[in-house]
Each structure stands twice: as structure tokens, then as C-alpha cells.
Amino acid sequence: MPAWSSSWQLPDQIADVLPSEARHIEELRRLFLDTACSYGYELVMPPLLEHLESLLTGTGEALDIQTFKLVDQLSGRTLGLRADTTPQVARIDAHLLNRQGVARLCYCGPVLHTRAELPHATREPLQFGAEIYGHAGIEADLEAQALALAGLQAAGVTGLLIDMADVRIVSGILAGTSVPAKNLSAIHAALAAKDAVELAMLTAELPLATRTGLQALLRLYGDESVLDQAVVALKDFPAVQAALENLRQLASHIRHSNPGVEVRFDLADLRGYAYYSGTRFAIYGLGAELVRGGRYDEVGAVFGRNRPAVGFSLDLKELVRVLPARSLRAAVRAPWGQDAALNAAITALRQQGEIVACVLPGHEHEVNEFNCDRELLLVGGQWQLVPLSKSGA
């Protein structure tokens, strides 16, 4: 087989982004960044690669597996290509900004995964995220959720559903028991899979109240009535009651501020349990999970600043995949030439925000990314805009 026949092929689940989709992604990037800015968030740009020990500090095994690794030809040290930007932003907050009060930071850039999270997903997501540091109160959780919903709504996503849980519910049920790390991971997996038989086997040696509480979680999913059921079913665990009240307050706020958003709960959902320290949420729309977020107060501890933190992230490529394709943008078609009056007219239109595509000689009938609905023509000695349908072109 000739070398050129496969030299252009890309790795699995890595793809070029072509004009229409690229334009859509870029419009969404600007929209989300502008929305975050309107909430008072400041843009940061962490590097794509770092020394591996810095990049993975405190992130756990899951992120290590997802991280591409390479050797720095200058230092000989191992580098990593980031698989998630959140730890980098925590490092920036802890070491570079070192502010005493609240810090609101946002970012948007590519991350790389050794394995795609879903069969159809890319291994090169374009991750947008927003983090708020320095406030332990529920107000920060509310703001993160409000910003995520505002961005999706501005992007045209309707029928939104936010699903919430709290990792403190399971930790509260298990408080005072001794569970080996390996068994704890298996218990979390059984809860996530709603596997009552496996859960019973894994917890057979635990106290009866603990076993009963964990089994109850398997049934506690649905609308806000789930919280009322949980208050009764988990009454023996005071720490859990505080987490349930926190979820109730979040749901109440969303119900009043975003009445069109459906709120649901799954108290056995422990995705990211090793990462989150409190409430976690996911936002669904257009048949897909679009946003993940929550509170992760421990994220800065490994960088020497264990302060409150809450935020969210999403993949703009995934969002574009589920959104309807954008129509072509309106544009002006103009002849190519060196006439001073023509070039002055083109410059004036571009300064007004118009897209002006100059037609190169011999390419008058080519179709491109723009919908040229008007044409710049010489009429009565002056260059004027004429609807393309009336120009005879």
C-alpha cells in the first residue's frame, strides 16, 4: 500500500472540524465566555501540557488513566497532556492569584483523553468551564447552576433537566464504619448500577442501619418527593439530613428562577465521588448529558490552599453535535478589483459588520460557507448593494 494512502488518516475518535461546525463551535465559545463574563468571571488560559506530577496531583487514578504522557526533550522529565482543566485552575487560584476573597475564573480550551467517555464522543473535547473559589455557602452552588443554565439557554437548548445528588449522603451513611478502599469502590459501583444483590453481598458485615440505609438509596430517585422519602428512610443519619436540606434549597431556587427546568434527584448517583465533596449535578438536554458540575472543596488542598470551590464544565463539541445545524450566514458578494471606490465600499461594509466575499476571476459560481444574498454592483457610477436575486446572477 502506498505511504500516501493512509498518511492523512487521523487516530480513532480524533477528527478535523470543518467550516460549518467550526463556526458553530466558535460562536458557542464566545457566547459561553461572554455569559460567564457577565457574571463577573475572569478568563484564564492554563497550558495544554505540564509536568506530570503537577498535572495529576490530587486527581486520582481515573484522570491518570485518561492522560496522555510524553517525555520532555529539554529536561527529560515526563509531561502530561491535560485531560481536565479544573485541577489547573485550582493551581492558578492557589499559587498564582492567591486571593483572600472570592475568585471567579472561567476557561475554554482543548483537553485530550486516552479513551473517549462515550462510543460516539471525541477524544479531544473543547472544554468550557467556570469555577468559583472562596465561598462555602449555598450561594456559590446556586450561582454555578444558574450560570450553566444561562449558557445553555442562550445557546438555544430547551427542555432542560437538572439532576442532583450529594456525595455526603453515602459518606454520612457509612460514617463510623470501617470499609477497605477496595470494598468502598465496589459499594459505590453497586449503588451506581442499582444492583441490590451485589450491594447486599458487599455490605453483609456492616451494621444493620448502614445496610438498610444503603439499600434505601437504590429506590431514592425521581422528583422532589424523593427528598421527603429520604428524610424518613435515612432519619438515623443526622449528617445526611443536612445534605438533603441543601438539595431541597437548591431545587427550590431553580424552581423559582427557572420554572421551565425540570429538577430530579438520584441519591445513589456517585459519579465523581472521589472528586466532589458535596452537591454534584448534571444538566441534560436534547437527549444528552451536557454539563457536569458540583462542589469540590478539597480540589485546592494539594496546592496548599484548601478553600471552598464549586463549578462546572461541558464539551462544546458535544453540544454542537446535538444542537440543530446553523443556517449559512448572510454575506455580500463583491467583484475582485483594484478600483479605489470599490475597495472603499468593501472596507465600509466590513467595518459595519458585514461579511464581504470577493469573487476571484473564474470562480463566479462557486458555493461556499456563506449565503451571499446581496451583491455589490456598479450602478450609475457608484457601488451599491443589490439583492442577489434581482441582479440576474
51-78 b/e (C-beta count within 10 Å ≥ 16 → b): ebeebbeebeeebeebbeeeeeeeeeee
Angle between helices 238-257 and 225-233 (to 10 degrees): 170
Local structure of 255: helix, strand or coil: helix
- Shortest CA distance to 313 belongs to which of 296, 292, 337? 292
**Cell 475564573 belongs to residue:** 105
The amino acid at 64: D
Binding residues for L-histidine: 84-86, 127, 131, 271, 275-276
Q: Are 267 and 243 in contact (CB under 8 A)?
A: no
- CA separation for the pair 52, 71 (Å, rounded): 10
Binding residues: 84-86, 127, 131, 271, 275-276
- Shortest CA distance to 246 belongs to which of 278, 214, 220, 224? 278
Q: Which set of grid coordinates corresponds to residue 260?
A: 421551565
For residue 195, the Cα-to-chain-centroid distance in whole angstroms is 29
The number of C-alpha atoms within 13 Å of 282 and in the hemisphere containing its C-beta is 16
Q: Are 160 and 145 in contact (CB under 8 A)?
A: no
Q: Are 105 and 130 in contact (CB under 8 A)?
A: yes
